[in-house]
Chains A and B, each alone.
Chain A
């Protein structure tokens, strides 16, 4: 067992070998590049769903604006004060930095968890694309309560799209990435144009003089759709904050910020947050209200911008599922000995395709995003504790690496323990990650302080002897 695990970790190390060394100073990128990256990455297919869900959950205009402003600000500050400083000091990816602390064994578990979560996310994106193509074939999309596929048509459609996306990802991931760069500014414009074009249907005048009155009564009216839980400002604030929890607090964007000249480059994340997670969510909210509060991204965009709109939803799903499939494939490569890249992407794609048949991941996207962040959050707390707090408490850093340990048992206990506690916390799912994060941080430090004291005792007695 130990041998096979060490074989897996060796394979994984080879896989990530290219970014083993800290980034050299000549490879650092400009701030404009970070602004562009964030602006492009955070205008995705899921934005069509998230903004619309706020309307269905009965968020009022005041709660929406305040929640999004503050939540996105907290997300930007999390990138700036938590993720970017560690990345610019170490110039390493989370993979290599975590390996020093938690050992290669825990890295394997982290990668597998990430792979599964990525596959589900890509599956949700396929679901969004399917709503656009479903219009063409007259296939009904699942209702908001559906967990299992509701019709054979939906299964066939998601399978067909999933296989198509997978084959295209296998044939040319890089070409598709370049295509995604071309798409992202247009998708952002599609959001704005779509919302503007549907405003007259809601009764907004051409000079916008009654916009706020219409927004308060017909869009973000504060009344939840039937069967939907009522959301308030705190829900919106926390959602906007934890929407990319795995990236900022969970530190997976260290891979990005290790190329930043200074830690203040974290502030460039504002281009993604206030462009995508503010404007695009508001626009999709307007669109869903204009089509009678039906969660149907394809129909929303078709009504808003015709054929180009429906194509936009399909393309947005495709271009955002593509890198997600790639990342899932990369993470899955740890358990697929000597498989070529195409085979691993194909496996990840097929798993994603099967998952995409289940509408639960698409109709419960907000909950899934919360769980996704929650699962990976304790790892961020472990790295933060070891990076900043261990030197303060004079605890030895990187013990797993120094003692050549396969597993850091304390890190595993903290990870599993935090998730166990979070699952029982008497709080709404959206709010559980914050106490969980504090708990993980304190528990990891405490476990090491106790270990340090226990370890110091025999040494002291030896000295006395």
Chain B
């Protein structure tokens, strides 16, 4: 369950990274704001994706112990 949630959150973060230049291109946000959105979304991507990998690794280790 946690893995699905983290996968979804990291996926959404990455989609935000990808959407931000389009928003700038279409004049919805300024260049400065686009860069801030990209930075923030990148931070969230690294946070959620790293957490997902950590949990995956912990699960694998506990499966191995059993």
Q: Is A74 an interface residue (CB 8 A)?
A: no
- The 0/1 profile, CB within 8 Å of A marked 1, for residues 1-45 of chain B is 000000000000010011011101111000100111011001001
B21 and A196 within 8 A (CB): yes
- With A182-B53, A308-B42 in contact, is A206–B35 under 8 Å at CB? no
B50 nearest CB neighbor, chain A only: A182
B50 and A206 within 8 A (CB): no
Q: Is A428 an interface residue (CB 8 A)?
A: no
Q: Is B57 an interface residue (CB 8 A)?
A: yes
CB proximity to B under 8 Å, residues A273-313: 305-309, 311
Q: Is A185 an interface residue (CB 8 A)?
A: yes
Counting residue pairs across A and B whose Cβ atoms lie within 8 Å, the total is 58
Contacts of A185 in B (CB 8 A): 14, 49
B45 and A186 within 8 A (CB): yes
Chain A proximity of B39: nearest CB distance (Å): 4
Q: Which of B22, B27, B38 contacts A305 (CB 8 A)?
A: B38
A193 and B17 within 8 A (CB): yes
CB proximity to B under 8 Å, residues A303-338: 305-309, 311
A: contact size bracket: 20 to 34
In whole angstroms, how far apart are the Cα atoms of A185 and B11 in the complex? 10
B32 nearest CB neighbor, chain A only: A306
Contacts of B22 in A (CB 8 A): 196
Which of the listed residues A190, A194, A197, A309 has the most CB atoms from chain B within 10 Å of its own CB?
A197
Chain A proximity of B32: nearest CB distance (Å): 8
Contacts of A148 in B (CB 8 A): none
Contacts of B50 in A (CB 8 A): 179, 182
- With A182-B46, A192-B18 in contact, is A206–B39 under 8 Å at CB? no
Which of the listed residues B35, B36, B45 has the most CB atoms from chain A within 10 Å of its own CB?
B35
A206 and B27 within 8 A (CB): yes
CB proximity to B under 8 Å, residues A159-216: 178-179, 181-182, 185-186, 189-190, 192-194, 196-197, 199-200, 206
In whole angstroms, how far apart are the Cα atoms of A308 and B46 in the complex? 12
Count of chain B residues with a beta carbon within 8 Å of a chain A beta carbon? 23
Chain B proximity of A310: nearest CB distance (Å): 11
A194 nearest CB neighbor, chain B only: B21
Contacts of A190 in B (CB 8 A): 17
B31 and A182 within 8 A (CB): no
Contacts of B17 in A (CB 8 A): 186, 189-190, 193
In whole angstroms, how far apart are the Cα atoms of A179 and B57 in the complex? 12
- With A306-B35, A308-B35 in contact, is A186–B21 under 8 Å at CB? no
Contacts of A181 in B (CB 8 A): 53
B49 nearest CB neighbor, chain A only: A182
Contacts of B57 in A (CB 8 A): 178
CB proximity to B under 8 Å, residues A2-43: none
In whole angstroms, how far apart are the Cα atoms of A389 and B24 in the complex? 58
In whole angstroms, how far apart are the Cα atoms of A308 and B14 in the complex? 13
Chain A proximity of B24: nearest CB distance (Å): 6
Contacts of B42 in A (CB 8 A): 186, 308, 311
Contacts of B34 in A (CB 8 A): 197
In whole angstroms, how far apart are the Cα atoms of A179 and B18 in the complex? 20
Contacts of A199 in B (CB 8 A): 25
B28 nearest CB neighbor, chain A only: A206
In whole angstroms, how far apart are the Cα atoms of A206 and B14 in the complex? 22
A206 and B26 within 8 A (CB): yes
In whole angstroms, how far apart are the Cα atoms of A182 and B10 in the complex? 10
Q: Which of A182, A197, A307 contacts B21 (CB 8 A)?
A: A197
What 6 A-B pairs are tightest by C-beta distance, nearest first? A306-B35, A196-B21, A197-B21, A193-B21, A308-B39, A182-B49
Residue positions of B touching A, CB distance < 8 A: 14, 17-18, 20-22, 24-27, 31, 34-36, 38-39, 42, 45-46, 49-50, 53, 57
A-B contact pairs, 24 of them (CB 8 A): A178-B53, A179-B50, A189-B14, A189-B17, A189-B18, A192-B21, A193-B18, A193-B20, A193-B21, A193-B38, A196-B21, A196-B24, A196-B25, A197-B21, A197-B25, A199-B25, A206-B25, A306-B35, A307-B39, A308-B35, A308-B38, A308-B39, A308-B42, A309-B38
> Given A193-B20, A196-B25, list of 20 further CB < 8 A pairs?
A182-B50, A186-B14, A186-B46, A189-B17, A190-B17, A192-B21, A193-B17, A193-B21, A196-B21, A196-B24, A199-B25, A200-B24, A206-B27, A305-B39, A306-B35, A306-B39, A307-B35, A307-B39, A308-B38, A308-B39
